[in-house]
Structure 1
Amino acid sequence: MIRRLLAALLLALALAAPAMAQQDPGWVPKNTARLQALDKVTARVTVLDVALNQPLRFGTLRIIVRACNARPPAEVPDAAAWLEVLETRKDPRGVPVFQGWMFANAPGVSMLEHPVYDLRVLECH
């Protein structure tokens, strides 16, 4: 039951346009996402600052942040970023491996499933 509810929530979030969350008065649009990237093979952790709509490479991944929203200062800190992640190892144009919202306070809700890399939203600023 919980898995179905979670799946329905993820589907609803994935179908919503990134701009939809920017209209919610509980979120403040920001221009840059701070991500934590992990290379599971080398155990290298890297903090990445990614500007909106500016592709950034990490290993064989191309990461594009389409939206990044933070909670207002008076609320519990949180961040949500709409990410598009492409794998470029076999195809230089990139094969989509993730598209959707990632949440700083709930990284397990929506995550990149990749054998070599892991991504996590830290904050939006």
Structure 2
Amino acid sequence: MRRTDFRTIAACAALLVMAPIAALAQDDGVEVPPDFQPLDVIEGPIDDPEDQVFDNDAPFDEFGNPIVPNPEDPNAPLRPGEGDTVTTVQEGPEVADGTGANIRGLDKLSGKTVDLALKTGETGEIGWLQITLGDCRYPTDNPVGDAFAHLVIRERDAEAPIFDAWMVASSPALSALDHARFDVWVMRCTTE
């Protein structure tokens, strides 16, 4: 697979955009110098795109940018050096498994709420929705805090679930049930 030189694309795009503007300026009697260049996009020689080959096995960073070895020492390790920007991912707090979860449902039509206390693996109903709790986890230092639970929600007598994902108590909209009649969200994990 061949890679296209982005400077070539930028230069062509600039010409396509600016050339009609220059032509309009000339039509309006505005003098355009003969060495008019729309943008200073081209700096130095442009490599022939046919000579550039995309290496599918090249290493990439977490943002999808190719990691290019040091041109002075191609055998140098592909590691960040001094002054490079390094992104680190911090691990979240330690979590513990709950024995169940408190779940709240809202009937949008009537405005009534229903609270369910489900044990892991148990199924409860809100209206015609069947909610199965797969697992509930919480931060070990805050059992009533930021719980997250894996829920499988089906409409009664339907085999395919309409929701099968983790819900987070502190951010219910992050992974929400999309249903016309009901809203469902996790309140907290239970530990007994």
Question: Normalized against structure 1, the TM-score is what?
Answer: 0.73
Structure scoring higher RCO (CA < 8 A, sep ≥ 6) equals: 1
Deviation at 1:32, TM superposition (A): 1.0
Partner of 1:113: 178
Gaps of 5+ in 1: 1-23
SS of 1:33 mapped into structure 2: strand
Q: 2:141 aligns with which of 73, 79, 101?
A: 73
Q: Distance in 2 between matches of 1:54 and 1:78?
A: 21
Say which one has the larger Rg: 2
Q: Distance in 2 between matches of 1:26 and 1:123?
A: 16
Q: Verify: 1:44 aligned to 2:109, yes or no.
A: no
More strand by share: 1
* Conserved 8 A contact 1:86-1:97: yes
What fraction of aligned residue pairs are identical, expressed as a percent?
A: 28
| Structure 1 stretches of 4+ moved >6 Å | none
**CA 1:96 to 1:44, structure 2 compared with 1: closer, same or farther past 3 Å?**
same
SS of 1:105 mapped into structure 2: coil
Aligned residue pairs total: 99
Partner of 2:166: 101
Query: Counterpart of 1:96 in structure 2: which amino acid?
Result: P
Q: 1:83 aligns with which of 131, 151, 161?
A: 151
Deviation at 1:74, TM superposition (A): 5.3
What is the CA RMSD across the aligned residues, in angstroms? 1.9
Question: Normalized against structure 2, the TM-score is what?
Answer: 0.48
Query: Counterpart of 1:100 in structure 2: which amino acid?
Result: A
* Conserved 8 A contact 2:144-2:189: no
**CA 1:118 to 1:75, structure 2 compared with 1: closer, same or farther past 3 Å?**
closer
Gaps of 5+ in 2: 1-91
Q: Distance in 2 between matches of 1:75 and 1:28?
A: 8
* Conserved 8 A contact 1:62-1:94: no
Query: Counterpart of 2:141 in structure 1: which amino acid?
Result: P
